[in-house]
């Protein structure tokens, strides 16, 4: 399916989503708060106070923005103490992207233990990706909010497929107890679709930046065939996944294959990887303890 999606036009994305819905695979719509923030961000007469007032209506969104912008990945100088300050710090477009990331967490629902593990994993990877991006922004030109967005969305196709196929976890080997993740090849074999393709369509349907959607589609291929921005995002994701795996004492069978390309893309010498990784983990732990 991935090859069919590579060159899909914007006007065809919604048709593809509707076609998926006819097969029982439902791409969730954007929550109302996300739509309202996006519309406001596109206005020429945008007022930061008005956008701040809109965001303040959602306590969960407000808390997320405050927590993120106090982390080392986002805080350029000193942490902001108002929503207007947050919007000024991030920029309206970047803040809107973080609102989309929050929107995903409320759009995909469920009470299962697997879904709880999914959000815990995705959130930690997103936070690690943001720190990596902040450290390599001069090399990759990928900003923390873009990396965070990609980190939270990169595996979003998994819960969508879980909702459609009752035997998804068994067929793909996904196990919350052992924290084993889904096998893409098993997805293709059993369901003729994979979570990367579903995640790509969700990202395009939600109008995420194209390079972020491309990175979601190709994040298991280390961005092979992608343009520079998408390759950089994939490299950031791959390193974030590896650091997550190390932190949780989990195997990561893909890392040995992807490591040389990741380090080249991020401009990290192999001899410096351990020091860089320790620095990223220290910054992540400071954020996680707040």
How many angstroms separate the Cα of 157 from the Cα of each of 51, 85, 135, 143, 172?
30, 34, 28, 23, 13
Cα gap 231→93, rounded to integer Å: 22
Measured from the Cβ of residue 273, the count of other Cβ atoms closer than 10 Å reads 16
pLDDT at 7 over 70: no
Range from 239-243, 252-256, 265-269 carrying the lowest mean pLDDT: 252-256
Higher-pLDDT residue of 183, 165: 165
Name the percent of the chain lying above pLDDT 70: 91
| 192 vs 267, higher pLDDT | 267
As a whole number, mean pLDDT of residues 74-86 equals: 79
201 vs 9, higher pLDDT: 201
pLDDT, one tens digit per residue, over 197-233 is 999 999 999 999 999 999 999 998 876 778 899 999 9
pLDDT bucket at 179, cuts 50 / 70 / 90:
low
Q: Which two tokens stand for residue 192?
A: 């003729």
The end-to-end CA distance of the chain, in Å, is 41
Q: What is the DSSP string of 140-171?
A: H---HHHHHHHHHHTTTHHHHHHHH-TTHHHH
The two three-digit tokens of residue 123, written as one number: 């959130």
98-154 per-position pLDDT tens digit: 999 999 999 987 657 778 888 889 999 999 999 999 999 999 999 999 999 999 999
**Distance from C-alpha of 147 to C-alpha of 150, rounded to nearest angstrom:** 5
Map residue 180 onto helix, strand or coil. strand
Angle between helices 228-247 and 255-266 (to 10 degrees): 130
> At 180, phi and psi to the nearest 5?
-85, 135
Average pLDDT of the residues in 246-262: 92
Is 215 or 173 the better-scoring residue by pLDDT? 215
The pLDDT of residue 6 is 60
| Nearest CA-CA partner of 19 in 195, 154, 198, 167 | 198
Average pLDDT, whole number, for the chain?
87
Give 49-53 contacts, CB < 8 A, sequence gap 24+.
Answer: 49/84, 51/83, 51/87, 51/92, 51/95, 52/82, 52/83, 52/84, 52/86, 52/87, 53/83
């Amino acid at each position: 399916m991935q090859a069919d999606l590579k060159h899909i036009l914007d006007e065809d994305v919604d048709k593809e989503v509707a076609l998926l819905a006819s097969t029982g695979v439902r791409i969730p719509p954007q929550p109302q708060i996300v739509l309202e923030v996006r519309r406001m961000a596109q206005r020429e007469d945008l007022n930061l106070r008005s956008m701040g007032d809109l965001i303040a209506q959602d306590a969960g969104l407000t808390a997320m923005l405050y927590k993120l912008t106090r982390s080392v990945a986002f805080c350029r100088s000193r942490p902001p103490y108002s929503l207007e300050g947050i919007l000024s710090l991030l920029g309206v477009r970047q803040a809107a992207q973080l609102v989309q990331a929050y929107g995903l967490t409320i759009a995909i629902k469920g009470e299962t233990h697997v879904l709880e593990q999914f959000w815990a994993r995705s959130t930690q990877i997103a936070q690690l990706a943001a720190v990596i991006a902040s450290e390599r922004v001069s090399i990759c030109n990928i900003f923390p909010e873009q990396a965070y967005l990609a980190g939270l969305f990169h595996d979003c196709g998994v819960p969508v497929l879980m909702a459609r196929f009752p035997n998804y976890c068994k067929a793909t080997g996904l196990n919350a107890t052992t924290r084993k993740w889904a096998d893409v090849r098993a997805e293709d074999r059993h369901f003729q679709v994979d979570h990367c393709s579903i995640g790509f369509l969700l990202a395009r349907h939600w109008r995420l930046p194209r390079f972020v959607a491309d990175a979601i589609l190709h994040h298991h291929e280390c961005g092979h065939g992608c343009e520079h921005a998408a390759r950089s995002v994939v490299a950031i994701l791959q390193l974030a996944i590896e650091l997550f795996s190390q932190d949780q004492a989990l195997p990561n069978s893909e890392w040995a294959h992807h490591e040389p390309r990741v380090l080249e893309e991020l401009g990290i010498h192999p001899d410096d990887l351990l020091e860089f990784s320790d620095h990223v983990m220290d910054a992540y732990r400071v954020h996680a303890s707040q």
